[in-house]
Amino acid sequence: MATRTMQAARCPTDELSLTNCAVVSEKDLQSGQHVTVRTTPAHKFLFTVKCHHSVLPGTIAFSLPQRKWAGLSIGQEIEVANYNFDKSKQCIGAMTIEIDFLQKKSTDSSPYDSDNMAAEFIQHFNNQGFTVGQQLVFSFCDKLFGLVIKDIEAMDSSILKGEPESGKKQKIEIGLLVGNSQVIFEKSEGSSLTLVGKAKTKESRQSIINPDWNFEKMGIGGLDKEFSDIFRRAFASRVFPPDIVEQMGCKHVKGILLFGPPGCGKTLMARQIGKMLNAREPKIVNGPEILNKYVGESEANIRKLFADAEEEQKRLGANSGLHILIFDELDAICKQRGTAAGSTGVHDTVVNQLLSKIDGVEQLNNILVIGMTNRPDLIDDALMRPGRFEVKMEIGLPDENGRVQILNIHTAKMREFNLLSNDVDVKELAAETKNYSGAELEGLVRAAQSTAMNRHIKATSTVEVDMERAEKLQVTRSDFMGSLNNDIKPAFGTNQEDYSSYIMNGIIKWGDPVTRVLEDGELLVQQTKNSDRTPLVSVLLEGPPHSGKTALAAKISEDSQFPFIKICSPDKMIGFSEISKCQAIKKVFDDAYKSQLSCVVVDDIERLLDYVPIGPRFSNLVLQALLVLLKKTPPHGRKLLIIGTTSRKDVLQEMEMLDAFSTTIHVHNISSGEHLVEALELLGSFTDAERTTIAQNVKGKRVWIGIKKLLMLIEMSLQMDQAYRVSKFLTLLKEEGALDENNHIRI
């Protein structure tokens, strides 16, 4: 038949409209023929025809979905031409069809077997032509479904010739459905249809991971290992096709708990997990917002959070999408039950409600709850078991590589617009910023930027920007170094002022005893760094008062260059109760465990213990706390050096505390005239002639004085007139009992 003009008509019966055929009179065409219908010069549509006696010659009848697809109106004049398929190229190998209920009111939640559906579809529509984008109606199990053809792949021509497959896949716009075509059903977006079987949804086989995912773009640095661990535990099961997961009887992880020091990226990480997944926008909940003063309202707030996921699970079953709930400051609502004495018990019922929703009798399998806290010790134990917050991940301080990543992220914009000077070396900054958290590194970049901007502000009667020079604005290395030394200090780091105050006069190496202590200290530092067998090394520096034990401990810790150094000193705990003191000491140790390498100096232990010889009296609570902490091995991968100082070794011996230290080093007083003269020479306070006079007076005599006391006596003597300084110094030595004229041995 050459091209002829026909008139569009309505399909005579509902039964015929389910055949997906255009209906014609047998006088015009024969059943099974294929025709193209041209509505405008640019638009052509393919149909397979079927004859029926009720159709008038010269007309061609279409069902409603066909008219909708081709944009036809009844009575419209159209050009109809025969079409012949090239069976070597146009047979359908695989066809993907989007499916949904035809009428929304006829929806139901019973599962439909897509394999049976595909078999019936091929039987029903065999030898018909299909076009990408075509709409049709399909009846299955007495239900009507609306279908849209999404994608057609041509059959491999080698199969048609009886040869093995060549593996080439070719997309085509128009294809002929044959008996061995493969039909894949894909649930349309937002549909409540439940499909089971192998011919279902390519969508469920797609990765739930967003293809555009990139750590650097998301502004996350130094958390690669944590992300890969979370992925392995929480998302691997969600990437697999649901039918395999069903066969394994595998349940998805429903809860992740992120904990660690403030500013290390817990909230950032949780926020980005939502972006990383092809899931709904996460619901972010701040813990305190849940609580309400009215009875039952707090629990209702928890139920509302899970309502959408419950409704979708009931409607869609296994095909439900993933719902992410993010709880910030989880410890605000999930405290240990029964701990808040005198409270209304609201916390307890909120915890109960959350427990039953995450993993109660009616389980939800389409949720992922991410909790964040700085205080995992406060959270109720029942929430921490598998099935609830199953994956517990510490987001710790970033290591050097992590710091490089974070600094690169925060300086990327400056680098892009050439505002970062060439002398800024990110690797050098990362090496200098030991124990800085991600937030502190961001603060460092901000501080350097503000220093650079400040250079271009003219402080005249009004504050204004020097526009000529501002055009050449660049952030330099000196801006970063200035901010590093003055503006931003790490919360978990070394407090320079702390230990520099203990060694403000330097270390006076008056003889071998001092050198030996420093050498032994250096050995212990190396042991802590290098030995995997002894992650905890503790040493006690003991000796008489004023012998410089604290200064030596501070010097050893400073020379160690450990990223975390803290001095636990009694002067910071004046007036503390026993319990407060224990908590303060424990906090120092807890902070130390967060760093890879740490050094804690426990100064003046007998003062920490409130020891006095009258009685004798001491704090048993603090003693027991110290004994436990001195022996407690740090977490895996962390190393700790503890340096204790005491003037009362005998007391610690009685308290059985000496055994808690790995080793003990004795710090000597100056005990000979030669050593005293050596100390005076190093201090350089007296003239050569004065030192000669002092040397003659102390030569061969027994001396007994601590370096700290010696400094005090020297400074007192120097206040006198030059003529009397030496005699005053010698008098003070005798009065202090530091110089024995009779050369008696001091014990």
Annotated catalytic sites, by residue? 549-550, 603-604, 631, 708
Any residues with CB less than 8 A from the CB of 670 and at least 6 apart, and which? Answer: 510, 511, 676, 679, 703, 704, 705, 706, 707, 710
Residues with Cβ < 8 Å from 631, sequence gap 6 or more?
Answer: 536, 660
For residue 566, which of 583, 584, 579, 580 has the smallest C-alpha distance? Answer: 584
Residue with tokens 């809860």: 255
Amino acid at 122: I
Within 10 angstroms of residue 195's Cβ, the number of other Cβ atoms is: 23
Q: Which residues contact 433 (CB under 8 A, 6 or more apart)?
A: 403, 440, 441, 444, 484, 490
Neighbours of 475 (CB within 10 A): 21
* Phi/psi at 690 (5° precision): -65, -40
Q: Environment class of residue 546 by beta-carbon count within 10 Å: exposed (0-12), middle (13-18) or buried (19+)?
A: middle
Which structure tokens are listed for 84?
A: 């012949």
CB atoms within 10 A of CB 572: 13
CB 407 within 8 A of CB 445: yes
3 state SS of 240 = coil
Identify which of 36, 158, 45, 155 has the alpha carbon closest to the alpha carbon of residue 89.
Answer: 155
- Interior CA angle at 32 toward 27 and 33, to 5°? 70
* Contact yes or no for 185/195 (Cβ under 8 A): yes
8 Å CB contact between 313 and 365 = yes
Residue 95 token pair: 């066809």
Task: Give every CB contact of residue 559 below 8 A, 6+ residues apart in sequence.
Answer: 518, 521, 522, 525
Close Cβ partners of 60 (under 8 Å, ≥ 6 residues apart): 6, 7, 8, 9, 22, 23, 24, 28, 37, 49, 78, 80
The rounded Cα 179 to chain-centroid distance in angstroms is: 52
Determine the number of helices (DSSP H) and then strands (DSSP E) in the chain: 28, 29
Instruction: Sort strands 92-101 and 77-83 into parallel, antiparallel or unpaired.
Output: unpaired
3-state secondary structure of 301: helix
Q: Which amino acid is at 704?
A: W
Please state the length of the chain: 747
Cα separation, 406 vs 269, in Å, equals 13
Q: How many whole angstroms separate alpha carbon 477 and alpha carbon 410? A: 15
Rounded (to 5) percent helix, strand, coil in the chain: 40, 20, 35
Distances (CA, A) of 126 to 20, 29, 116, 189: 11, 19, 15, 27
Q: Which residue has the tokens 């595998």?
A: 250
Residues 79, 4: Cα–Cα separation, whole Å? 6
Contact 75, 8 (CB under 8 A): yes
